Each structure stands twice: as C-alpha cells, then as structure tokens.
Amino acid sequence: MGRITNFLGSPKTIAATTAQTIVWTGNELPSQGLVAIHFATTGGANNSLANCMANRLRIKADSTTIFDVSLTAYQSWLQRFSQANLSPGNAVLAWSVWFNMLDIVDDDLADACQFPRGTVPTVELNTNASVAAGSAYIGWTVSDVEADYYPVLIGQAMNFAAPGAGTTENLSFPITEPGMLRGFAMPTVGLSRLRLDLSGAQYEYLPGALYQGTATGDMFRDAQAIEDNQSVTTTIWHRLYGTQAGLGASRVELAVGTTWGGVANEITTWAVRPQ
C-alpha cells in the first residue's frame, strides 16, 4: 500500500494582529504510521511560514517533546537533509515537517522512522502579531512500514556570550541526547572554531568564519557544501552517521568572536531513538 496522504478539512482560525498558539491534538491527527505533517494557510502574505512559525515549532508525543526547533534551524534542516535540498522560504504559505529519515532514498527504509507509535500527537504553531485574519489547515502522510525508530529534533540555547573584544576560547556545552545522532546544527556568524566530541571520540574539528578573530574562509560551512546548496547559511547542519552520544563524554567545544549572536544562540540536534 505504501504511503497515504490526507488532510483535516476543518481549519483553525488565525486571529488578526495577535500572537497566538494554534494547536492540533490527537483527536484531529493520526499517530499510527505518521511520517509527515503538512501545513497550509489562508489570509495572504502575512500568514506566511515566517509569521506562523515566528518563535518555534513544537510537537509532542503524549507529554514528551520530540520537536522544539527555531525557524532557521528547521529551514536549514530540510535544506541539508531533504533529497531535493528544499529550503522553504519565509514567504511560503504551505510547508511540511517530516518524521522519517528524509535523507534516505528508499521509502521503506526512510519510513522505518515515524512518529512514536502508541502516543497522542500535539502540534503547535506559534504566530507573531503580524498575522492577518485567516485559517490554518493541517494534513498528514502515513506509511504502512513497521516503525523501528522515532525522531527527535531539539534546539538548546548554549548560553555563550560574545566577547567585547578578541575571541573567547574553549566554551563547552554537553550533548546528552540518548539516541543515535544523525546531524547537528550551529550558527556560523562569529564562530571561530568548533570541536565535536561524541562518546569520548573527536568527530569534527574545524575553523569557522572568524577564526582567531580574523575574517577567514569558512571551513565549517564549506565542509558541507558538496551536499548543501547553502541558501540558508546562518545555521548550518553537519551530517552524522548514526553516532551514539550516550556511551561516554560528549560535548561541543567552541571559540567565538565579537560577532557571535550571544547567549540565545542554539545547538540543534537531530536524532533517532528506538520505538
């Protein structure tokens, strides 16, 4: 049978000029075999992706948050891992979120990762106050493949401040994700150097665009360019090949310069966990 795609014909109201959280829950969505959800809006340009996902995209399975991601990390995640290098622009009025391993060409293998079975989904869109009166619709794609994994896409603020001058070295942030890591994302502006240790082994050690406080060719970004067309560049994803972080000490170590975005800058990880 493969995949089936459907949608909920009853819309959610978008209130004009109001920051709001639009919520869909388990009585409106399937959970068995769920590999994607799809959004569409009415009401014109103000109800675009950028305004309707202004803060975060949050998705829960029962009470467990499995997606909590910023707009730029979501855009660059799709750009890096989708087979079409899709990068949904801020102005689009329809966009999708995938729960499968979207970088795997074979649909059956990709769909072995799905929304956690046996749980109730909750999907949130958090708009800003620039939205216009309109509606939001949701759809979904389900697969008949038996699930082995579920995805976790989470961003966390690292709380690293930019220095007033020069470079701050050896900033360390622990990685505690228990699943198999498929990728991680970092801001690039003001990044001087990055080292990634997973389970006690060094996986990456690269200079960024502000290496040792001087404008430098961005090796951190360019190392992914062969697979990433980089229309979104302020948050770059690096691919990891199913590496487990929970077997030993895991961390990202940074050096940052004066143009670093500050304490709100996030590391975002994409992992799969056993069902």
Identical fold between 3-152 and 158-274: yes
H/E stretch holding 182:
strand 180-187
Is 158-274 assigned to CATH 2.60.120? yes
Task: Encode burial over 119-153: b for 16+ CB neighbours within 10 A, e otherwise.
Answer: bebbbbbbbbebbbebebbbbbbbbebebebbbbb
Task: Locate the domains of the chain by residue range.
Answer: 3-152, 158-274
Q: Which residues are CB-contacts of 131 (< 8 A; sequence separation ≥ 6)?
A: 14, 15, 16, 17, 18, 20, 43, 46, 47, 51, 52
Output the tens digit of pLDDT for each of the chain's 275 residues.
Answer: 589 999 999 999 999 999 999 999 998 999 899 999 999 999 999 999 999 998 789 999 999 999 999 999 999 999 999 999 898 999 999 999 999 999 999 999 999 999 999 999 999 999 999 999 999 999 999 999 999 999 999 999 999 999 999 999 999 999 999 999 999 999 999 999 999 999 999 999 999 999 988 888 899 999 988 888 778 778 999 999 888 887 789 999 999 999 999 999 999 999 999 99
* Unique residue bearing structure tokens 């895991």: 250
Which residues have a Cβ under 8 Å from the Cβ of 197 and sit 6 or more positions away?
203, 249, 250, 251, 252, 253
166 in Cβ contact with 257 (< 8 Å) = yes
What pLDDT, on a 0 to 100 scale, did the predictor assign at position 1? 59
CATH class of this structure's domain 3-152: mainly beta
This prediction's pTM: 0.94
- 16/19 Cα distance (integer angstroms): 9
Sequence-separated (6 or more) residues with CB below 8 Å from residue 134 = 14, 41, 42, 43, 44, 47
DSSP classification of residue 131: -
For residue 53, what are the contacts with CB-CB under 8 A and spacing of at least 6? Answer: 71, 74, 95, 125, 126, 127
Secondary structure (3-state) at 231: coil
